[in-house]
Structure 1
Amino acid sequence: MNSKVILILISLLFMGSGIFAQQQSSLIQITVKDSSDNTPLKDIVIKIDFKRANFSSSENGVHTFYLPQGEYGITISHLGYKTFRKRINVKSSTIEFSVSLINVAKELDEVIVNNQGGSGGNVSRQLLGVTPLSIKTIKKIPAMMGETDVLRGLQMLPGVTSVGEAANGVNIRGGTTDQNLILLDDTPIFNPTHLFGLFSIFPPDATAGLDLYKGGIPSRFGGRVSSVIDISLLNPSLDKFKATGGISLVANRLTIEQPIIKDKMAVLVSGRASYNDFFFKLGPPKLQNIRANFYDLVTKVFYRMNAKNTLTFSGYLSNDFFQTDLLGTISNVNATSTQYAYSTKNASVKWFHSFNSKLNIQTSAILTDYEPKTLLPELNSSNTVNIESGIVYKQLKSSLSYQPNDKHHFEGGISSILYSINPGKLNPGTSNSVNPITIPEERGLESSIFLEDEIALNRRVSLSLGLRYSHYMALGAATVRNYKPSLPLNDINVIDSTKYKSGEVFANYGGFEPRISFKYLLTDNSSVKVGYSLMRQYLQVVSNTTTPLPTSRWTMSNNYIKPQVSQLISAGYFKNSANNIYEFSLEGYYRSTENVLDFKPGADFVFQPFIETQTLQGKGKAYGLELMVSKKKGEITGWINYTYSRALNQINAGQGFGEQINSGNWYATNFDRPHSFNATVSISQGGHHEFGFTFVYNTGRPFTVPEGYVQYNEVKYPYYLERNNQRISDYHRLDFSWTIRNPSMTKKRWEGSWTFGIYNLYARQNAYSVYLKSEKTINAYQLTIFGSAIPSLTYNFKFM
């Protein structure tokens, strides 16, 4: 009897608890529809606090289930749609709300390719080897020390590498850093980095995006033989005030857009400054005297004069200062430190006139002034020895564009560029131990005319035909040596010299530069493209370092240094998924270059008035295969790519050790890295969190090791026979970033976010170079720029 009572009591207890739970539960009704057409969505997945929920569904998209009262995180997902996330507080007996899921196929592109060429631009774009990269995409890439970097973003693309973290530029499809034409709102940039390659000079908040041309280069571009990096600045807002900026441990930045005359005239001002080098004082003694800071300033004024005319002014100013205890090599200077100061001042004025909807003209005046300096403060003196150099670039150009219909676009134009180069000047100040030195100025005039015709022959076949003619004249005043024929160009073989007056022409070069691109549309989602380009370069850097320094010497073509001439053949296959979410591309290329410039064994460029005695010219070749897959839309976006490439030179200017490199055989360039793999992933968790990951792998670059050692007076000296005969260890790195936003701020005028990042997450000690040091014996040491994980924290904001 007692056992029956107990059994009844237990049953009533469980029944009572179930009744109590039912009384405390609330009815949840969620209506889920397509955001574009309000179609009810079935077969959805609902998760409550990451656990899948059971629910009933109706034909009109209403999904019903019960929840006990409390706070929950709800996730609603459906195949092909962006996931919806929300936190709800269940208090009342019934909760109803609607959810509109966004179809991923109809979402705006998140990565890489802008809407150039319309939907499926990867397939329909006429030129191959062209990558439009938006600043939005670049900002998703984890940044070193929290500084959004255009050049580091470029290095995540196939065919783009560098020699390491402290590289003063990028190498594109086997080209040197000076073979890239880098334009900031049409003004050329001769040094694209701050602090010897740690950061790029392009202010992220004032940059609209960039176009990378590494294959089919339009004929409107000239003067370089490898690639074009065309970076555009934002046009200021004509209707309302805007402000964006950020604060980090490295630099602080602020960008302001202010209408002056509403809908007609506005100005943009963007500034960035790094004055946080006081941290060096907190480090070990060997770092306490280092100083490193920079700033850059951008301004852009846009004026819409009327419906047919606009006027645009762009200005850019940057300055770097770096001080180290490592001393320079100028004889008789007893310096306490070496200071590097270099600046860029750019300006452009553009007038655009529209004759009608089909015909327009744009005329531009451009000025660039690049001034690197090396300063040597003397010991026990207030005097500073100053070493100066620089480039002044002046250009006038005009282009006419005619587009009679959607299938035909014609463009033509003319350009004239005046170069003035200061190769080097030593100003000793009040020092009595150093004599002043001035290397004569180099001047040259480059003129060109170009035509482009892009036409769709039918639905599947289209052509881009371009022709450029460039002509270069080396201008006096100049003194040109005459050397003994068929003998090395050196001081011993000088016969006499010829002097030319100011403005007198003493060397002429020029020729046609055809550019051809063919596209065949296989299906609506796939195409093949073939291209050919010939390019000429009259301006180049001479350097005997791994990567040219900001203070490296620039020189013009003359009687002995011929212009570089490059021919590029490329082909590719492109395919998009049916909804343009995924893109696939496979490109191959082969480039041959005449008159590549390299340095003689033991070359010394310091204050050398006759640079031809220190350089050699020969042939170069580069070839490669690039594979890339990208996901452009959805919560998870990004891309992976693999490149196999080679970059080789052959220098055989004559008989003898000093006239050949590696006995006249082909040898790997400093930036020859056969295997390259990059991966970038961005994970967006609603409007609150965004995670970014990048992984980079490159084959180690070549470097030179001695063949042996010679001992003299008990001192060992290395001797070298082959250049770039070994490779440093392979490079790989993983980066991470986490951006936190407050969703409640998205509809307010002020929006703020925090980004936490870790550069080199697993603290890989990647080798930058290997150097020899004479101690009791000669020992080899590996130089690493970043040998540990580097955390960063940045606060970004915008006000609209």
Structure 2
Amino acid sequence: MISTKKMLILILLGFMPFLSFSQKRVKIKGTIKHNQTKLPLFGVNLIITENGIGTSTDSAGYYEMTIPTGSYLLEISHQSYFKKYQKIDVRRDMVMDYVLDEKVNELEEVRISANSSEQNVKRLGTGMTTLSSRTLKKLPSLLGEIDIIKSLYTLPGVTSVGEGASGFNVRGGNIDQNLILLDEAPIFNSSHLMGFFSVFNPDAFRDFNFYRGGIPAQFGGRISSVLNVNLKDANATKLSINGGVGTISSRLLIETPIIKDKMSMYVAGRISYIDQLMQVIKIKRLAGSKANFYDLTAKLEYRPTTKDRISISAFQGKDQFKLAKDSISAIDDNGDALYDWRTTNATASWSHYYGPKFSTRLVGVYSNYDADIINSDSLTAFKLNYNIVYKSIKGIATYNLNPKNEIDFGFQFNRYDIQPGLMEPTLPSSNKNLIRLNPESGIETAIFVNDKIEISKKVNLGVGLRYVSYQALGASTVYNYEAGKPISFLNIVDSVAYDRGKVVKSYGSFEPRLSLNFNISASSSLKFSANRMKQFIQLLSGTTAALPTDRWKLSDTYIKPQMADQFSMGYFKNFKEKSSEASVEVFYKKLYDVVEYKDGETLLLNKFPETAILQGDGYAYGAEFFVKKNLGTFTGWLSYTYSQTRIKVAGPTEEETINNGKYFPPIFNRPHSFNAIGSYQVSRKVSFSSNLNFSSGRAITYPASKFYTSGAVLPYYNSRNQSQIPNYLRLDLAMNIESHPYRTSGYRGSWNVSLYNVMARKNAYSVFFRSKNPYNQFYSKVDIYKLSVLGTIIPSVTYNFKF
């Protein structure tokens, strides 16, 4: 037996490696500010190079950390400022304030990541990209506007169904499977002018994080990706104005302090004048058409103390679009259809810094998306309205357990209220009847936790878990269908009515998240990520590209939530002192209950949407290659993606089965995608950039034959989406001219000249068939035609200014 005294000695010896009797620990703290404006800087990293102890500044530019007494070299760094090294000798608690110089007009400023190039290797997880506004300004632009959504197309794993289409497709997912946030507020339609512009004002946003793999647990509700757009901070110390005047639209941002060092705000606006241009440049085939938009973005920040930050942001956008004798209306082909859609968002947040280990953030969100189709034809005059209202409260806390372990945890409560369709006649002569679909409501509640652990110098682990609960609410009517027969309004046997607020259907699910980073060396790493995501709201669209008035549908008794399990692995490498980098990622995604549609069914104003919707399982897989040059007079990147997506819908009856129960590609499946982005800095004043894009054609269903029945000639379709439209190829060029490249204050101006689609290629948006002789269609030869949206060179000139 070991005596008690010996046992205590052994225990004490066991703890000796963790005890230090020789060094006293002291606290250093202070603020980091901009050298000229003296504004506090958020996210500045401070690291003691000798022992790796570090921290970051909060929203007030404040930092605090505890270290042993001694002499050290302190490294202070931020992606937008010059790195600083400071020798410090610490013997007692000290206050150390520093200022940083901003990087202005560096030739090396073109970055696809707002973080340092080291983050390509060091950060956790795969499939994550950060783009800054400064990076986007170097890219060629359509109609003179830099665009967040268009920039995503240059990244591996991201495609679209065609030119001018709204939304984007990520790793085999549909456009509604992407969560798009603007300062935490969801964007249900991210486009202006049916996809030619995005709703994000380039002057108002700071950067964005784009997750297509390795998605943190605080994000949920979509199964493909998360685009988190962050508005710039309102940190004005004096009045400043900047904007741009272009051939299609103009922008203006005004930023001003309200209370010195306490409160500031900015307002940014954009407006187009395409209607006025069409009146000046008279084009006969566009007579009677209409296209215009505007948006306003505003942010107010209040810093009552050094540890508190309150911000309120708001966004409003409005579009009108009409093609004379429009033929894309799902209701009527005879009259002119005006598409009118509006987005109104508001976000309020409060951040509090308790100390170097603990901070919290509380966010409240309101979002309202409203869309109309208006037909003014005297015989069929109507207004069709669709509306979705979203309200959310989200709380998140960050706790630094120690320098090697950081925990995030929180909750989120979302409520959806949808008006899926209200059609009213607008003239006494109209033959349209009043149609009002029953509204839908749902509540989504989630709790989540993330834990980032530095296991060793070579291994970092990220573990996350999200539990989400969803309830579909009344008032609603649930129809019961005859067993053994297809779900059709002809087979309704009875119905059950639910009162307002009554729970109609509930779903719940755990969503685990895992990320692992193994640092092979200081310049290379191997990463792995796994995600499970669920989605309780889906976009119902019967067209190739979503229309503004397409219907969002909540999960209910018949429409199950979509789900995806994604696994991805990647190898990341930096070269030549981080001047270049490369990566390769592979992914596999298993899909459950994804939405497809019965042939020939109508979605708009359908009182029984479950009779038109089918759900099936599927999978997606692919490989993504990426090479980027960060430094030098010539910068840019190459990306290539190979991917395939397959869906299988095998229902209990023939009417509820697609493609005989065999796998088929969805319409957005494009196996090959290649992008080449380049920027050449000729001088401090002049730079040139280019964008080359190639992608294989999307999937499409061609008719196999035609037949004659009941006096009409009808096409016969065999298997769904077994063909492809022609490949897509486009080259864009741009030139940027800085009039005062050396100025850091005062008036500054720049010119952007862009040529979109330099080769004037008539890329196919879709392919259709038509008989040569419309009066003898059965015996007449059928010709193939392609529809091109932008089939020529589009020049643009924009003058940007700031003072």
Under TM normalisation by the shorter chain, which class is it?
A: 0.7 to 0.9
**8 Å Cα contact 2:603-2:609 kept in structure 1:** yes
Q: Counterpart in 1 of 2:569? A: 571
Q: Which of the numbers 399, 405, 409 marks the counterpart of 1:402?
A: 399
Q: Give the Cα separation in 2 of the matches to 1:167 and 1:768.
A: 9
Q: Counterpart in 1 of 2:185? A: 187
Please state how far the C-alpha of 1:620 moved relative to its aligned partner.
2.0
Q: Which of the numbers 746, 757, 762 marks the counterpart of 1:760?
A: 757
Where structure 2 has 5 or more consecutive residues not aligned to the other structure, the ranges are 1-102
Which residue identity does 1:753 align to in structure 2? S
**8 Å Cα contact 2:114-2:207 kept in structure 1:** no
**8 Å Cα contact 1:335-1:377 kept in structure 2:** no
Instruction: Output the TM-score relative to the length of structure 2.
Output: 0.84
**8 Å Cα contact 2:685-2:741 kept in structure 1:** no
Q: Give the Cα separation in 2 of the matches to 1:284 and 1:716.
A: 35
Where structure 1 has 5 or more consecutive residues not aligned to the other structure, the ranges are 1-102
Q: Counterpart in 2 of 1:684? A: 681
Residues 576-591 of structure 1 mapped to structure 2, 5 A cutoff:
576-591=574-589
Which residue identity does 1:346 align to in structure 2? N
Q: Counterpart in 1 of 2:4? A: none
Q: Which of the numbers 469, 472, 475 marks the counterpart of 1:471?
A: 469
Q: Give the Cα separation in 2 of the matches to 1:670 and 1:335.
A: 28
SS in 1 for 2:610: helix
Q: Counterpart in 2 of 1:343? A: 342
**8 Å Cα contact 1:146-1:248 kept in structure 2:** yes
> How far does the alpha carbon of each residue in 1:567-621 deviate from its partner, in whole angstroms, 9 at most, with x for none?
0000000000141110111100000110000110111012112110001000121
Please state how far the C-alpha of 1:430 moved relative to its aligned partner.
3.8
Structure 1 position 309 matched with structure 2 position 308: yes
Residues 520-669 of structure 1 mapped to structure 2, 5 A cutoff:
520-656=518-654, 658-669=655-666
**8 Å Cα contact 2:325-2:333 kept in structure 1:** no
Distance 1:171 1:680, change over 3 A: same
Please state how far the C-alpha of 1:284 moved relative to its aligned partner.
3.1
Q: Counterpart in 2 of 1:725? A: 722
Q: Give the Cα separation in 1 of the matches to 2:476 and 2:138.
A: 51
Please state how far the C-alpha of 1:334 moved relative to its aligned partner.
9.4
Residues 171-250 of structure 1 mapped to structure 2, 5 A cutoff:
171-250=169-248
Please state how far the C-alpha of 1:359 moved relative to its aligned partner.
0.5
Q: Counterpart in 1 of 2:287? A: 288
Q: Give the Cα separation in 2 of the matches to 1:207 and 1:513.
A: 30
**8 Å Cα contact 2:752-2:797 kept in structure 1:** yes
Q: Give the Cα separation in 1 of the matches to 2:463 and 2:192.
A: 38
Distance 1:207 1:332, change over 3 A: closer
> How far does the alpha carbon of each residue in 1:485-516 deviate from its partner, in whole angstroms, 9 at most, with x for none?
23211012212100100000010111100000
Q: Give the Cα separation in 1 of the matches to 2:181 and 2:108.
A: 27
Q: Counterpart in 2 of 1:323? A: 322
Please state how far the C-alpha of 1:521 moved relative to its aligned partner.
0.4
SS in 1 for 2:614: strand
Q: Give the Cα separation in 2 of the matches to 1:303 and 1:674.
A: 49
SS in 2 for 1:280: helix
**8 Å Cα contact 1:333-1:434 kept in structure 2:** no
Q: Give the Cα separation in 1 of the matches to 2:741 and 2:307.
A: 42
Q: Give the Cα separation in 2 of the matches to 1:183 and 1:744.
A: 34
Please state how far the C-alpha of 1:634 moved relative to its aligned partner.
1.4
Q: Counterpart in 2 of 1:28? A: none
Q: Give the Cα separation in 2 of the matches to 1:557 and 1:568.
A: 22
Distance 1:794 1:119, change over 3 A: closer
Structure 1 position 700 matched with structure 2 position 697: yes
Q: Give the Cα separation in 1 of the matches to 2:678 and 2:272.
A: 29
Please state how far the C-alpha of 1:241 moved relative to its aligned partner.
2.1
**8 Å Cα contact 2:597-2:613 kept in structure 1:** yes
Q: Give the Cα separation in 1 of the matches to 2:361 and 2:484.
A: 49
**8 Å Cα contact 2:381-2:432 kept in structure 1:** no
Q: Give the Cα separation in 2 of the matches to 1:660 and 1:335.
A: 34
Q: Counterpart in 2 of 1:670? A: 667
Q: Counterpart in 1 of 2:114? A: 114
Q: Counterpart in 2 of 1:785? A: 789
**8 Å Cα contact 1:168-1:548 kept in structure 2:** yes
Residues 388-399 of structure 1 mapped to structure 2, 5 A cutoff:
388-399=385-396
Which residue identity does 1:425 align to in structure 2? L
Please state how far the C-alpha of 1:418 moved relative to its aligned partner.
0.6
SS in 2 for 1:323: strand
**8 Å Cα contact 2:325-2:334 kept in structure 1:** no
Q: Counterpart in 2 of 1:488? A: 486
Instruction: Output the TM-score relative to the length of structure 1.
Output: 0.84
Is the deviation greater in 744-753 or in 313-322? 744-753
Q: Give the Cα separation in 2 of the matches to 1:527 and 1:747.
A: 38
Which residue identity does 1:153 align to in structure 2? S
Which residue identity does 1:571 align to in structure 2? M
Q: Counterpart in 2 of 1:124? A: 122
Q: Counterpart in 1 of 2:27? A: none
Is the deviation greater in 283-292 or in 407-416? 283-292
SS in 1 for 2:203: helix
Please state how far the C-alpha of 1:747 moved relative to its aligned partner.
4.9
> How far does the alpha carbon of each residue in 1:522-559 deviate from its partner, in whole angstroms, 9 at most, with x for none?
00000001111000000001112112211111000001
Superposition RMSD on alpha carbons, in Å? Answer: 1.9
Which residue identity does 1:681 align to in structure 2? G
SS in 2 for 1:633: coil
Identical counterparts, % of pairs: 39
Please state how far the C-alpha of 1:238 moved relative to its aligned partner.
3.0
SS in 2 for 1:707: strand
Residues 39-188 of structure 1 mapped to structure 2, 5 A cutoff:
109-115=109-115, 118=116, 120-188=118-186
Structure 1 position 252 matched with structure 2 position 250: yes
Structure 1 position 447 matched with structure 2 position 445: yes
Runs of 4+ displaced beyond 6 Å = 328-335
Q: Which of the numbers 790, 796, 800 marks the counterpart of 1:796?
A: 800
Q: Counterpart in 1 of 2:42? A: none
**8 Å Cα contact 2:378-2:427 kept in structure 1:** no
**8 Å Cα contact 1:385-1:431 kept in structure 2:** no
Which residue identity does 1:485 align to in structure 2? A
Which residue identity does 1:690 align to in structure 2? S
Q: Which of the numbers 507, 510, 526 marks the counterpart of 1:509?
A: 507
Distance 1:119 1:725, change over 3 A: closer
> How far does the alpha carbon of each residue in 1:442-494 deviate from its partner, in whole angstroms, 9 at most, with x for none?
00000000011001011001100000000000000010011122321101221
Which residue identity does 1:757 align to in structure 2? S
SS in 1 for 2:703: coil
SS in 1 for 2:600: coil
Q: Give the Cα separation in 2 of the matches to 1:512 and 1:744.
A: 53
**8 Å Cα contact 2:109-2:135 kept in structure 1:** no
SS in 2 for 1:145: coil
> How far does the alpha carbon of each residue in 1:63-89 deviate from its partner, in whole angstroms, 9 at most, with x for none?
xxxxxxxxxxxxxxxxxxxxxxxxxxx
Please state how far the C-alpha of 1:396 moved relative to its aligned partner.
0.8
SS in 2 for 1:579: coil
Please state how far the C-alpha of 1:405 moved relative to its aligned partner.
3.3
**8 Å Cα contact 2:475-2:498 kept in structure 1:** yes
Which residue identity does 1:735 align to in structure 2? D
**8 Å Cα contact 2:630-2:636 kept in structure 1:** yes
Q: Report the count of equivalent residues.
A: 691
Q: Give the Cα separation in 2 of the matches to 1:372 and 1:333.
A: 17
Q: Give the Cα separation in 2 of the matches to 1:212 and 1:569.
A: 17
Please state how far the C-alpha of 1:107 moved relative to its aligned partner.
7.6
SS in 2 for 1:144: coil
Q: Give the Cα separation in 1 of the matches to 2:769 and 2:303.
A: 61
Q: Give the Cα separation in 1 of the matches to 2:614 and 2:757.
A: 39
SS in 2 for 1:151: helix
> How far does the alpha carbon of each residue in 1:219-277 deviate from its partner, in whole angstroms, 9 at most, with x for none?
00000000000000011223122221111111010011111112211101000000222
Q: Give the Cα separation in 2 of the matches to 1:712 and 1:385.
A: 33
> How far does the alpha carbon of each residue in 1:351-373 deviate from its partner, in whole angstroms, 9 at most, with x for none?
11111121011111100000010
> How far does the alpha carbon of each residue in 1:299-331 deviate from its partner, in whole angstroms, 9 at most, with x for none?
000110101111100100000001222346889
Distance 1:284 1:662, change over 3 A: same
Q: Counterpart in 2 of 1:34? A: none
